[in-house]
Structure formats: structure tokens, C-alpha cells
Amino acid sequence: MLPAYIPNPVAALLGGGTPIDLKKNFSDGNRIFGDGKTWRGLITGILAGIITGLILIWLAGLFPPASLPKHTLLSVTLLAIGALLGDLVKSFFKRRFKKERGAKWPIADQYDLVAGAFLLLLIGDPAWLFATVTLPAFLFILIITPVLHRATNIIGYIFKVKEVPW
């Protein structure tokens, strides 16, 4: 899951500048995505996720026959892009529900990246998804993701990378 987990913190660290929605409003008068979703965050986050995946593929090659699931360029790319697309779609709906940038939205804030990453895998490489993400693995991901999410956001808040600890 690292190629899906890395993009968010990297976007928080390196993001900023031009917002993806170019400051445009939706038909309801609120921002499409808001200032928290920027091109730089999207691109650096996705690249960082893919690079993380490439390192995992390289590491797996050093330990044959590793018992860990095998990544491919496609699987890591879909995980990285899906994670931040999920985050973007979540922000779209957050704005529709009139939630300010950075407002808390339990469940959606924690699972947007998992939903986005798995949905993209389902479309782009379903064979890999079903062969690799077994039911126990999926349940483990559902349990560990909110824990990791909270922990990284508290760290980000302490180091002043994030404005709120969620």
C-alpha cells in the first residue's frame, strides 16, 4: 500500500501554488476543489508514490522468491494516481456539503485514498487486484489505514506542515 500512502504526505509537504480548480467556483457558488488541492501537490505526490513503488519492485528483486505480493509498474502507478484522485473527489464533495478547506470529515478523510486506489486498480488491472489483495489483506488495510492516517497527520501538525492534526 506504500505507493498509495506516500502521495498524501508528499503533497502536504511539497504542494502549494496554483489550485487544480484555478480558483473557479462550481454552480453552487462554492469552490470546485478548494485551495487545498494544487497541481504541484498532485504531481509531486503521484511521482513520489510511483518512485516508492519502483523501489519496492527493485527490493523485491533482491529477495527472490519473496513472499510479499509483487508490484508492477502498472499497479504502483494506479495506486499512486488513485490515492490522490480519491482525495480530489473527496474534496469535491466536501465543497458541495459546504465544508471549508481542512474541515474534518470522518470516514471520507481516512478512506478516500483506499477507495480511489482500489477503484482505479479495479478498472486498470483487476487481475492484479484480485490476485494480490486477498480478503485478510483488505481487512488489514481497512484497520491500519485510519491509524496511519491519524499518526501521519499528527506528525505533520507538530512539524507545521499541516494546519490541523487530521
Instruction: List, in sequence order, the alpha helices (H) in the chain.
Output: 2-5, 7-14, 39-62, 73-96, 108-124, 126-132, 135-158
Least separation in angstroms between CB 141 and ligand CTP: 19
Stretch of 48-56, 60-68, 86-94, 127-135 lying at the interface with ligand CTP (CB under 6 A) = 86-94
Stretch of 34-42, 48-56, 60-68, 125-133 lying at the interface with ligand CTP (CB under 6 A) = 34-42
**Contact between 49 and ligand CTP (CB under 6 A)?**
no
CA 124-89-96 angle, 5° bins: 155
Residues 100-139 that bind ligand CTP (CB under 6 A): 101-103
For residues 36 and 21, what is the distance between their CA atoms, to the nearest angstrom? 10
For residues 161 and 143, what is the distance between their CA atoms, to the nearest angstrom? 25
User: What is the distance, to the nearest Å, from the Cα of residue 88 to the centroid of all Cα atoms in its chain?
Assistant: 9
Among 4, 6, 21, 38, binds ligand CTP (CB under 6 A): 38
Residues that bind ligand CTP (CB under 6 A): 11-12, 15-16, 34, 36-38, 41-42, 84, 87, 91, 94, 101-103, 162
